[in-house]
A and B are shown apart, each in its own frame.
Chain A
Amino acid sequence: MSPTDKKDKPAVYQRVVLKNASPYHYMKVCLVLEDESTRLSAVDLKQFIISGLKSLYGEVGAALTFDLLKYDEDTLTAFLRVYSRGLVKLWSSLTLLGSYQNQACAFRVLQVSPFLLALTGNSRELQLD
């Protein structure tokens, strides 16, 4: 095959299907507090979630690494990233976290996906009124 032939040949079609191959899962969560004026910093929030993991799964559970990708202090909404095999542990800890500094609280899990890109394109956020 001469060099010119190789250049003119368009790219070959290739398809790969990956099933359950995402190493991470991403969560969009919102913290709802009894006293709505309470403010947490990003570090406070991460520490709070780690304490939740510890109370449910112990020291080994608390060692589950997750990332606080983005945090909005005004709405207390955060994007979290966790290894796929740790999703159930993280999610269950968030569910059972009931109090922050002696006030009642709850984590609302707004969206979960193996793709971070899906968290930015949620049609349930479409507001037309």
Chain B
Amino acid sequence: MVKMSVDLDQTPRSLLVCDRSSFLNEKNRISSQVEQLHFNYKVSVLLPECSSAPSHLDAVFNSFNSFYLIRNMPIYELLDKHFLKTAVYQGSVYGVSYRTRIDEDNCVALMPNGQLSLSLDKDSFELLGAEGKPSRFNHRTTCRYVVCVDLTDSSMAPGGRGYQRLLTGLRSRLQLKTDFLLSHHPGGGASLQALLSRYDWSEHRPDVSSHTLTDLSCPALRSCDLQSCDPHSLLEWIGAVDAHISCENSSSSFLSSLVCPEPKTTVSRALSVSICGLLLPQDVHRLIQQIRYYLEQPRLESWVSLTVHGFVDSPVSWGGNEHGVLRGGENFYSLLMFHDHTYQLHLATGAHDTCPL
């Protein structure tokens, strides 16, 4: 008799890293942790006991850098000599393919340090003929490959063998074209004009939306050290607020039993602001500084929550590490800041990801 044990309880691996520290602690790594998520899709902020954002915060929300959408861009354009010289070598270009799914299609990412990452299916990889490695997340059969090149390295200098090989591959053999999102540091936008002028492009400002909540039950969050709320319940509550899900359920309710974690309190009003688009870590840094300044003033509630979501279909996440989608492609972090400069940082990721640093 063959014994088959089917474990219906199993779910794919997920990680939640919980950091506690203070901005005043000189060894805190918040800056590098914000930097490691290059491609951010959404930033949402929850301000308790606040009905409208003060002007300095409002200014930051509305000053996230705009980005470009280039439709049907051939990827070999990222190797264009002029583009490399004026943009990539200056170290400030973020680019990621749009409307490509990492579990189905070919995806491309260009990081500010000049690394170009291509996540390709088997046929595309063989057609391209460039050096690459099988994906870390292949299961049994090798069906996905990753080609990662450093465009600033001497081996990829225009005219060199490595450069020519990749360029020929992208131009004549594979002819990879995708919609592409491209962002840029302010003061460097002019260098993109040559590339943009050759294709159908549009500029977009990140979409800012806000709504006010009234009589919101929220966990009692006094300070980092006195935290009694467990991380998963806290993140669930923040998610419920973001999704406009009610936490006012009695235990006998038929539909839902979701409740606010105890110990809890009620705030008469709260402001939730969301920004969506291709968002840069530099703008997230500025926002964190302004929120710290906001918290220094005496407030009724002494905390603010900030959540940053990475792109689900980015070939890289948490630095230059490979990212994929198994059942989900979550890669986000949630920063809970307190008035005494302490913070709790929760970094969450799914099965096809490395552990965030």
Chain B residue at minimal CB-CB distance from A88: B8
A-chain residues with CB within 8 Å of residue B225 when the two chains form the complex: 11
Q: Are A116 and B236 in contact (CB under 8 A)?
A: yes
Chain B residue at minimal CB-CB distance from A92: B8
Q: Are B243 and A79 in contact (CB under 8 A)?
A: yes
A-chain residues with CB within 8 Å of residue B69 when the two chains form the complex: 128
Given known contacts A13-B19, A123-B311, A118 and B101 CB-to-CB distance under 8 angstroms: no
Q: Are A21 and B232 in contact (CB under 8 A)?
A: yes
Most buried by A among B16, B18, B44, B342: B16
Q: Are B239 and A119 in contact (CB under 8 A)?
A: yes
Which of A12, A15, A25, A84 is the one whose CB lies under 8 Å from B17? A15
Secondary structure class of chain A's binding surface, majority of residues? mixed
Q: Are A117 and B232 in contact (CB under 8 A)?
A: no
Given known contacts A111-B328, A117-B235, A121-B332, A13 and B41 CB-to-CB distance under 8 angstroms: no
CA distance A21 to B204 in the complex (A): 39
- Chain B's nearest CB lies how many Å from the CB of A108? 14
Chain A residue at minimal CB-CB distance from B331: A118
Chain B residue at minimal CB-CB distance from A114: B14
Q: Are B19 and A21 in contact (CB under 8 A)?
A: no
CA distance A68 to B246 in the complex (A): 11
CA distance A68 to B254 in the complex (A): 9
B20-28, B210-218, B260-268: which lies at the A interface?
Answer: B20-28
CA distance A114 to B334 in the complex (A): 15
Answer whether residue A70 sits at the interface, using C-beta atoms and an 8 A cutoff: yes
Q: Are A126 and B348 in contact (CB under 8 A)?
A: no
Q: Are A18 and B16 in contact (CB under 8 A)?
A: yes
The number of inter-chain residue pairs (CB within 8 angstroms) is 165
Given known contacts A117-B307, A117-B348, A121-B309, A11 and B242 CB-to-CB distance under 8 angstroms: no
Answer whether residue B258 sits at the interface, using C-beta atoms and an 8 A cutoff: yes
Answer whether residue B59 sits at the interface, using C-beta atoms and an 8 A cutoff: no
B-chain residues with CB within 8 Å of residue A42 when the two chains form the complex: 255
B-chain residues with CB within 8 Å of residue A119 when the two chains form the complex: 239, 243
Chain A residue at minimal CB-CB distance from B333: A117
- Chain B's nearest CB lies how many Å from the CB of A31? 16
Q: Are B239 and A14 in contact (CB under 8 A)?
A: no
Given known contacts A88-B8, A118-B348, A67 and B256 CB-to-CB distance under 8 angstroms: yes
Chain B residue at minimal CB-CB distance from A57: B8
Q: Are B328 and A112 in contact (CB under 8 A)?
A: yes
- Chain B's nearest CB lies how many Å from the CB of A76? 15
Q: Are B11 and A20 in contact (CB under 8 A)?
A: yes
- Interface size counted on chain B using CB atoms at 8 A: 62
Answer whether residue B114 sits at the interface, using C-beta atoms and an 8 A cutoff: no
Most buried by B among A14, A70, A121, A126: A121
CA distance A111 to B309 in the complex (A): 15
Cβ contacts B303-337/A at 8 Å (1 or 0 each): 00001011111000000000000011010101000
CA distance A18 to B310 in the complex (A): 20
Q: Are A21 and B254 in contact (CB under 8 A)?
A: no
CA distance A10 to B343 in the complex (A): 12
Chain B residue at minimal CB-CB distance from A65: B257
Cβ contacts B17-49/A at 8 Å (1 or 0 each): 111111011011000000000000110100000
Answer whether residue A96 sits at the interface, using C-beta atoms and an 8 A cutoff: no
Q: Are A19 and B312 in contact (CB under 8 A)?
A: no
- For residues 92 through 129 of chain A, which have their beta carbon under 8 Å from a beta carbon of chain B? 111-124, 126, 128
Answer whether residue B13 sits at the interface, using C-beta atoms and an 8 A cutoff: yes
Answer whether residue B169 sits at the interface, using C-beta atoms and an 8 A cutoff: no
B-chain residues with CB within 8 Å of residue A69 when the two chains form the complex: 240, 243, 245, 256, 258
- Chain A's nearest CB lies how many Å from the CB of B228? 15
Answer whether residue A17 sits at the interface, using C-beta atoms and an 8 A cutoff: yes
- For residues 234 through 253 of chain B, which have their beta carbon under 8 Å from a beta carbon of chain A? 235-236, 238-240, 242-245
Answer whether residue B95 sits at the interface, using C-beta atoms and an 8 A cutoff: no
CA distance A88 to B240 in the complex (A): 23
Could you tell me which B residues sit within 8 Å of A by CB distance? 8-11, 13-22, 24-25, 27-28, 41-42, 44, 69, 98, 101, 202, 204, 224-225, 231-232, 235-236, 238-240, 242-245, 254-258, 276-277, 307, 309-313, 327-328, 330, 332, 334, 341-342, 348, 350, 355
With A10-B25, A88-B11, A128-B69 already in contact, 17 other A-B pairs whose C-beta atoms are closer than 8 Å: A11-B225, A14-B19, A18-B16, A20-B11, A20-B13, A22-B14, A46-B254, A70-B243, A70-B244, A84-B9, A85-B8, A88-B9, A114-B11, A115-B348, A116-B236, A117-B334, A121-B309
